[in-house]
Structure 1
């Protein structure tokens, strides 16, 4: 974890040197030296962390010292910037005199920072000498990833997974894979990939398939080779050749060329099945594919891997088999199989142990490896309540027999991460168990923390998104929801991986969880941890008794009060991130916040704050202000009424997400160009006004825009301004007369806009613009309260990339038709409150990709369209508050329309009002 700490400080020092050159005058040389020295130490941290993981206590202390020096350097520079910042924004005659006084103080501060850096030089010299003494090598990962090294020792699978056992779960997946293997109609050589995180059962499932008599009889040659992180192509080729020829490895040729030719020629002589188990790199297949000939005889290669990109690289034409976690019943069965071996699972567990056994099973969260390890442990315990309850009450995986090995297997994926991805991954430990983490919020937090370098041509947020996708590819992060374009919308980590995050974070002082139940209300760990997390607890949290003045981030999932925030912020001058998820009792910005000059991210969710004050521009490093309110005004809560113009003077501002009072009349955005933050990417929610003409076209970097109270009078100005926003991806407009013609035509030649949400009656209700005038790359469209009089489907179905369509009270006509081959990529369709709709026709080959269909409150629609029977891709049909006649017609097996939908796997119908 020291890698991530040092990397973060090096990045911040680089930004500091560029942005604060004037303030650093006189000490810049020393700061640059410090940056270079820490950067050079990064080269040795990869090897040091590997030695530390193997239990070398001396190296462990060395790594800890490096991390501490990095944090000390960060503290010194931040303290210096805090002192000199006081004169930064002083203007006027009297303030000029004050600035002169501050200059003298600044000279003192520079002398102090110079002395302190000299102290760091001495410490680094000592650390460097000890590095040579401990034999720590230079692996050189200054800007790259750990993919360049294979120093991580291979940890074999647990003995429990090395023997053939009955596979629990995955029956359907197993059947599909077996059918692919023995499919006589496909003679091409196939590469079949089984993908999942460590411990999910990839190897166990593959072994059960590989060893089955049906598979053994279907192939002439078989070989199983484990690849893992450390591999040499020549050794893999030698092992495969030895297994299919029964020639001892030591008797085979020594050069790769001869071996490769011999293996390839041997495999050409028959139908072969080769298993490459635990593949970590695309390079493995790239290096080996030449020895697996395709002679169209039905040969197969199976790859097991933790990485989706490995599977997709090996065979882009074959969909990988992504293993899921076991469900509750499957988890129960696997646990009992190991806790009570060779017994009947229906009767093996004593009645008085069932509840505690369920707790243990739940703790494993459906991970087969964890269930096997824990079940094996419980098989050694007495079959009495006290013995089992002792384990369940205070279970720590590292103290469970075999549990440490379980964590080590999971840790392989973590150890393989680059230093900046380690920082990103550990962040998941901040969130409560099973918490759905917003991808958008996570990206902004990572950007504010400065976890990774800026990539050419990409924003910080785009780089962050790429990191999330990489963690998903590595099967370390579970996607809980995806957007219309396939990108991650929310995600989480498995509980055991979260435990890994918390364990590593504690070791590296990355964050700690506040213990509100401690004797004196304080935590027991070190005083220089960088982030603090407060979870929701029953005990009232009046004040935060915490002595660490160097804290960089506060995260609270508990409802907090004004006085709590004031007292907390007052003690932490170096905060970069404040994220309060439940701030309903905070009614105003505490004035103490204005002194947090390092603050990058400010998030008050569900607050009752009404005014963003004029001193907000003191936070001149602020990137994100997020005042979202997930509640409604009808519930008695109000939202922001006034924003000071000074907010828009913060040059670093990138994201503004503020829920305005719906009845606010005044315009919240200032009309002066000099106050416009040029890097602003998110602006929501704002009220329409004269600023649309004067300000909006100058926000060239906007990606997301949400405007309320748009009327006919804004149509021309809005249309002209939107044409200037070439990077806009998402646009939402609410109003009384939404100028759809103007808006859609304004974007007709733009390629970035993918989401359009228009709420309110269209000016031209009779007909939508031609499909050729719509943005070509639209993927999601929402029309709400649009009062359309003509069927919108003939227009919308021609949009080639449309994947998500929602029509909410948007169409008043009686007839609707989806034409043949229309909506070629549509995945989701929702039609709500289309009260006038009586007949809906779906022609053959319409919506060939549709997976989700929701109909709600369409009171005139009495039957399911005939053409729905041809939409074979449909996975889910949801009917809400539809007419009783339709309910009768879709009744399973007996209803007149049942034959139209019987192919749909999931059908739900909810009726709460009679027609």
Structure 2
């Protein structure tokens, strides 16, 4: 680990990274060194491979490791998945909320034996509110990946596509958190039965759902943890890999664990409290006393009381952030980037110099994760949080506490003003019904989850509402455009307006310019241009435009909106030719993220980018110069963007061979697509001193042979090669000394992964999807050579 120690010291001296990160690095190194000393003292001399394996286990993030092994339950479910009838079968996990259904399902889903047994797998979170189209897309995302073509397909075409991809393949589909057997009924015809042992695994709180999905078989009912398992889980969550609890805390700790009633979620919640308190006897006695005064009744009641206790122990600045999860009724996973942008717009995040607002917000989220109130559902390739979620019981707590504190109001189709209709003897068609008068709300924050048509036809208003977040429940025509011109008139004081999941049509609402308090605006539709009057929204910090097709033209008045921090356009965004040459002297100095801007080769590109001096994350699409007189082969210099850490570049023009890339030295993540460059151009990328993540996609480089060179990619931790025509990869372990993850997709001509990669000390994972047999065999030989590298191979379709 000498190179890691050296890296930390150099980072501190050069000012790379934050002080907190330095402390975490140093702490991690100390823990691993202490662990190796412990192994050497207690087990004698170890081989290099053994040390690597033990150290890797010791340094695995606690969010991935803290799972109690329930061997009896696990083996029974594995047998049901891998043995028995060759016909397609349904395996169900049932149990009360918080008992660990999803945790067990995920553990089995990622078990190497399960991964190898099935040709392809997909995980689909369902919940109470779902759209059939979204379920099909979620499954297809794991089976083959999503493209623009798939996104544009009708529901019927998606069904056919999924069926075709699954035919003649032994597959495993997990449907997590199913509340209604109708989910199984609507998906069943897309899941073929080829008599090859395919399986569908369902998790549900409701036993009747499992019995309706497969009437002739008993579902697997999860049991509560026993006393020893409860205490073991509590220790693991508090002390991680440090080992045992201090002797003086054992008795009181066992009492606390027992009071949790064997429910894993309750134990994890209590651990989150104990971990943030002093590990002293008196402190633990106070927690035990609070538990004794609160916890009564059955296991689920106990769990709810314990979760309430966890909330009451939160510091004031985290309570609002936690309660905000109650706003995401229709979403299981919440995008980290969206969440912190909303927190900032709401004013929950206080700036702490020299940290940015985004860095402080991330610190808040990590604190909630450490307290076991928020779960990381997906990680970014460089290790950060991509999406997160909370347990359903915690969401219930958020909503009940929000109602009690008047923090936010959640409106569903079962709420007022429709409750009286639902209680009546007359059937109501919510697709055609709407009240004769607009529905008026008084709440400060309003979160509406309704069918799109019901929402629009009810024409709600909120004279004092400051935040309006809309999420759609099931709809027959989700892409139909709706007239939302009433929103600016009915919500005049709103500062957060999230209409991301409803199509506003082709025109940006002209009345939107009067919402001068707006800080966060998210819209969706076939919007071709943003009007110049948007500059009236002078407080706007986040602008999200989910364009459904084509280009979105941005006005030159955007340069006057100096508070902007984030601009996201789903398809493409561009400034008109006149705007680019307007000579506007304004700079967007606060803008830290911008996607997806369409640019062309030429001098105008550099002029635009120099107006964005503090960009940290940038996604762009490069086209050939629109004016042939400006045509050049030189890729624009980007070294004048010293803060830039993440860069995605897609090329959509004619084949060209641009000159050498001149990129910022601080760049940590780079994605290149469709350039068709010769492999010798990669050296300018390899020399970047801080690059940690590299994704080469869709013939980013063209050529059959990649000869890696010495002294390149010194910090690379994640490498993805996707849809390249590469045949021969000439490299050794010395070329990628810090590589942790290697992902290979659709590289059907690549013959092998260099066998020497087995000796990369940091390598943890090699993932192969839809590649050739020769490559798969070379990866298996690496797997056999070491116990320290996890290998996941999704076998090619038949």
TM-score range, shorter chain: 0.5 to 0.7
Q: Does 1:400 align with 2:297?
A: yes
The Cα of 1:783 is off from its aligned counterpart by 0.8
| 1:803–1:179 distance in 2 versus 1, CA, 3 Å | closer
Q: Does 1:911 align with 2:766?
A: no
Aligned to 2:650: 759
For the aligned residue pairs, the C-alpha RMSD in angstroms reads 4.6
Q: How far apart in 1 are the matches of 2:222 and 2:409?
A: 26
Aligned to 1:649: 536
Gaps of 5+ in 1: 1-175, 187-213, 219-316, 340-350, 378-396, 525-536, 629-637
Alignment partner of 1:805: what SS?
A: strand
Aligned to 2:38: 183
Of 375, 397, 404 in structure 2, the residue corresponding to residue 500 of structure 1 is 397
Aligned to 1:390: none
The Cα of 1:619 is off from its aligned counterpart by 0.5
Aligned to 2:111: none
Mapping of residues 291-690 of structure 1, within 5 Å = 324=65, 326=67, 329=70, 358=221, 400-401=297-298, 406-432=303-329, 435-453=332-350, 455=352, 460-514=357-411, 516-517=413-414, 521-522=418-419, 542-543=433-434, 549-561=441-453, 564-570=455-461, 572-582=462-472, 584-609=479-504, 610-627=506-523, 639-660=526-547, 662-664=549-551, 668-672=553-557, 676-685=560-569, 686-690=573-577
Q: How far apart in 1 are the matches of 2:492 and 2:416?
A: 34
1:711-748 deviations in whole A, cap 9, x for unaligned?
A: 33xx2011133234221111222132389986652x31
1:856-894 deviations in whole A, cap 9, x for unaligned?
A: 22233222223322234333322233234434x3485xx
Mapping of residues 164-183 of structure 1, within 5 Å = 180=35, 183=38
| 1:646–1:411 distance in 2 versus 1, CA, 3 Å | same
Mapping of residues 195-214 of structure 1, within 5 Å = none
The more displaced of 511-520 and 602-611 is 511-520
> Normalising by structure 2, what TM-score?
0.58
| 1:178–1:499 distance in 2 versus 1, CA, 3 Å | farther
1:645-687 deviations in whole A, cap 9, x for unaligned?
A: 21222101112121346544xx7232357x7211112223322
Aligned to 1:840: 729
Aligned to 1:726: 613
The Cα of 1:329 is off from its aligned counterpart by 4.7
Gaps of 5+ in 2: 1-30, 45-57, 76-94, 100-206, 212-216, 235-255, 264-293, 422-427, 473-477, 626-630
Alpha-carbon contact 1:688-1:707 (below 8 Å) kept: no
| 1:360–1:697 distance in 2 versus 1, CA, 3 Å | farther
1:46-98 deviations in whole A, cap 9, x for unaligned?
A: xxxxxxxxxxxxxxxxxxxxxxxxxxxxxxxxxxxxxxxxxxxxxxxxxxxxx
Q: How far apart in 1 are the matches of 2:624 and 2:761?
A: 39
Alignment partner of 1:501: what SS?
A: helix
Q: How far apart in 2 are the matches of 1:585 and 1:371?
A: 52
Q: Which is strand-richer, 1 or 2?
A: 2
Q: How far apart in 2 are the matches of 1:373 and 1:434?
A: 32
Of 791, 797, 806 in structure 1, the residue corresponding to residue 695 of structure 2 is 806
| 1:505–1:482 distance in 2 versus 1, CA, 3 Å | same
Greater relative contact order (CA < 8 Å, ≥ 6 in sequence): 2
Alpha-carbon contact 2:677-2:700 (below 8 Å) kept: yes
| 1:749–1:598 distance in 2 versus 1, CA, 3 Å | same
The Cα of 1:698 is off from its aligned counterpart by 2.6
Report how many residues are paired: 541
Alignment partner of 1:719: what SS?
A: helix
1:156-211 deviations in whole A, cap 9, x for unaligned?
A: xxxxxxxxxxxxxxxxxxxx99994982746xxxxxxxxxxxxxxxxxxxxxxxxx
Aligned to 1:822: 712
| 1:707–1:427 distance in 2 versus 1, CA, 3 Å | closer
Alpha-carbon contact 2:513-2:534 (below 8 Å) kept: yes
Aligned to 1:208: none
Alignment partner of 2:458: what SS?
A: helix
Q: How far apart in 1 are the matches of 2:598 and 2:682?
A: 27
Alpha-carbon contact 2:325-2:390 (below 8 Å) kept: yes
Q: How far apart in 2 are the matches of 1:355 and 1:538?
A: 37
Alpha-carbon contact 1:483-1:489 (below 8 Å) kept: yes
The more displaced of 865-874 and 758-767 is 758-767
Q: How far apart in 1 are the matches of 2:649 and 2:677?
A: 12
The Cα of 1:612 is off from its aligned counterpart by 0.7
| 1:613–1:762 distance in 2 versus 1, CA, 3 Å | closer
Alpha-carbon contact 1:754-1:779 (below 8 Å) kept: yes
Alpha-carbon contact 1:855-1:882 (below 8 Å) kept: yes
Q: How far apart in 2 are the matches of 1:541 and 1:359?
A: 43
| 1:360–1:567 distance in 2 versus 1, CA, 3 Å | farther
The Cα of 1:816 is off from its aligned counterpart by 0.7
> Normalising by structure 1, what TM-score?
0.51
Q: How far apart in 2 are the matches of 1:522 and 1:863?
A: 63
Aligned to 1:76: none
Alignment partner of 1:441: what SS?
A: helix
Alignment partner of 2:553: what SS?
A: coil
Q: How far apart in 2 are the matches of 1:520 and 1:677?
A: 39
Alignment partner of 1:845: what SS?
A: helix
Alpha-carbon contact 1:854-1:878 (below 8 Å) kept: yes
Alpha-carbon contact 1:560-1:584 (below 8 Å) kept: no
Q: How far apart in 1 are the matches of 2:413 and 2:222?
A: 25
Structure exhibiting the larger radius of gyration computed from Cα positions: 1
| 1:408–1:678 distance in 2 versus 1, CA, 3 Å | same
